[in-house]
Every structure is written in C-alpha cells, then in structure tokens.
Structure 1
C-alpha cells in the first residue's frame, strides 16, 4: 500500500483511477474504502473525539458520536485521523487517540504531530485547486460579501465556517 506524506499527493494518485474524487466535497468514505480503513461511530463517555487504531493489520477510525454531532465535525475528525494514518502510524505507533484538548482549535495545545494532522485534514478536505475553482465560480457574478462567501464555500466543501476561514486565510484568499 502506497503511503503519502501530503494530501495533495494522495488525491493526485487516487484521482487517476477515481477522477470523481476531485470534486467538492471530497468523498472521505471512498478514500477510507480504498485504503481498507473502517470508520465506526461509538458513543464514548469521555473526552475522546476520534481515534485511529491498527490491530492485526486492520485499520479502524472510531468517531465519538457525542463529541462529533455535526457532519462537518465528523468529516474533519475523519480527515484528521487519516492524517495520522498517512503521516504518523508505524510499527511502534499503532494508534492515536485525539481528545477535546488535542483537537482544540487553540494552537497552544497542539503538539507538532497534532498540528500536522490538522494541516493534512484541512488540505485534504479543502484542496487548493478546488478552492480556487469554487471561489472563481462564486465570484463570477459580481461582488459577494466576505462572510457570505466564506459560508457558501464552507457549505460546498461540507466543512465548518471556522475551518474554511482558516483555510482561506492560510492560502491568501481572504
């Protein structure tokens, strides 16, 4: 199984066989299926948001349904765990458990590994070329208020408005 150190390389590789994946919103279920990663929701009564575990060669992402109530939050958590899968899992490190603190939007809590997984998730869910394509489509009819633009982009990519705001700032669109 080929492992990719960037979401761009992952999407480029997958899109040669599955060009339908290069449209918004990115189909995380299909990506997980292609890599034989099972995604399950569980009702965990702790601060766990998500985790990825490798047991006996099987890879499983577990999403805490209590901490991931919106579809946007679930998508980001799955993409974050995929970041751990492609960047960090190895023979010594066979699991990651992300809780409210490590997944906090406050960067002071992030370890370098969590920052990398968050960055991977953002770039996977909101690829630059798709952001540009969708942004051009939205603004072609004239002026659009920034707040409305961000919300429409978030809706297109099925991410939170906050995630879209960070992504658009990071790539210099806003």
Structure 2
C-alpha cells in the first residue's frame, strides 16, 4: 500500500468529502450506499446490458448511479464505490453519462478509470480496518483462506483485496 495508507485520489478530495466517507470507516462492511446518498447521489439497482456493471449520469445537477443488479454483491459494491470515484474526481466529465463495463473501462482514459478504482479501494477497504480484519484472522496459515475471510467481512472480492494490499 502507498505511504499514508491512502491513494493520491483520496488526498485530492476536499475535507467535507473525506469527512463524509471517513465517518463510515469505523465498521465493516463499509456502508457504500449511505456514502453515495450523503454525497448527493441517487443509486438505483437496474438491469443493464450484458457486460455493463454500472453507469453514472448527471441531469439538472442531480447525479444518478445505476448498478447492474445481476452482478455479485461484492461487484455491485465496488462498482458503486467506483462510480462515487467518478462523481468526486471527474464530475466535469460525466456529462450525459459514463458507462463502465465489467473491467471498469469506459469512454474515459485508462488513467481516469484507474483513479476511480483507487478511490473505490480507499472507500471500501480503509487501511486501518483492512489491517484489523487481517489481524483477526492471523491464526489462518493458508494465505488464500485468510484473504477470502477478510474479503467476505469487507464484502469485496478477494481480487480487489489483494490489489489493495499490493499482492497482485
């Protein structure tokens, strides 16, 4: 993980945005839906086209995030956090909408998508809580089982957790 335990994207948020997110960083799993709502977004579960995980659009100043209801719960949660990332980092680029496929690719550059992914990881897997969970499972010798247990508690995929921890 990066020095300071958060990404540069986290550091770029204003104090109010960081404060809203941080107040939900006390217990797992992070209540990402409440974060979105408090930041001013409406979130809808929807049947999206095959291969589409989420989309975000702004109409008359109101942000609407739609999440594919057919995706697994960990994927839905990461997608929502990813779209929150776009809302906070790239609001000026949302326009008529950003549609993210299952690999979190959109019409935006790979750089902007990576920024949204890093902020999503900060939102869903705050360092202190992730380390606390790893400590809870320190008796599990099999690293894969340990990561699976922590990922289950955080309601994220094992892959997302490993990326967050720098293991992938």
- Normalised TM-score (structure 1): 0.77
**For structure 1, which runs of at least 5 residues remain unmatched after alignment?**
105-109
**CA 1:101–1:23: 2 relative to 1, 3 Å:** closer
Match of 1:13 in 2: 19
Distance 2:142 2:136 in 1: 15
**CA 1:102/1:74 → structure 2, altered by over 3 Å: closer, same or farther?**
closer
Equivalenced residue count is 156
Matches within 5 A, 1:1-174: 5-6=9-10, 12-14=18-20, 18=23, 21-66=25-70, 68=71, 70-90=72-92, 93-94=94-95, 95-103=97-105, 111-139=110-138, 142-169=139-166
Cα contact 1:134–1:153 (8 A) shared by 2? yes
RMSD: 2.8
Contact map agreement 2:57 2:94 (CA 8 A) in 1? no
Q: TM-score, normalised by structure 2?
A: 0.79
Structure 2 unmatched runs, 5+: 1-8
Matched residues in 2 for 1:102 and 1:65: separation?
Answer: 16
